[in-house]
Amino acid sequence: MTGSFETASAESTRRAGKSLARFLRPGDVVALAGDLGAGKTQLVGGVATGLGVDEPVTSPTFNLLLVHPGALPLYHFDLYRLEREAELEDLAFYETLEGDGVSVIEWGDRFPRALPADHLLVTIRRRGPEDRVFELLPSGSRSAELAREWMGALAAQGNAP
């Protein structure tokens, strides 16, 4: 199942992320794709809020991985600065994905072979200065369930987070 929805502001993008957080379980992997400034970090900020993370969420571009404690640990990756898939080993990438938290990976489309077989790819495209279109592409049964639950929640809200 693929799906899509739109947001009209940074705040509505954060609300969409908060909605997603309700359905996340340990071991879930959400890979984010989109141009610079598309709203990846805004979405992660909403996920963090939904998971009860108290600290502000910023892009981990220079750190590559930030860990945010919450109801579930949030592993926030940013692969933008990596040049080779082999560099993921230095981040304990694979071990972290199998950990007790949720992994959200900005620029997750950079190394598609490194992603687990079951992950949710969310591609974000700009439609205007504030408007964004989100396309969901699950790759396994758990990510399909996650996409279905998230889309259902957004539809119940009138598809307007």
Question: 26-66, pLDDT tens digit by residue?
Answer: 999 999 999 988 999 999 999 999 999 998 888 766 778 99
pLDDT per position as a tens digit, 3-34: 999 999 999 999 999 999 999 999 999 999 99
pLDDT confidence of residue 128: 87
- Alpha-carbon distance of 27 to 24, in angstroms, equals 9
Number of helical H runs and strand E runs in the chain: 4, 7
Phi, psi (rounded to 5 degrees) for 32? -110, 140
User: Maximum Cα–Cα distance for the chain, whole Å?
Assistant: 43
> How far is residue 16 CA from its own chain's centroid?
11
Q: Provide the mean pLDDT of the chain.
A: 92
Q: Which CATH superfamily is domain 3-156 in?
A: P-loop containing nucleotide triphosphate hydrolases (3.40.50.300)
Extract the tokens encoding 50. 């939904």
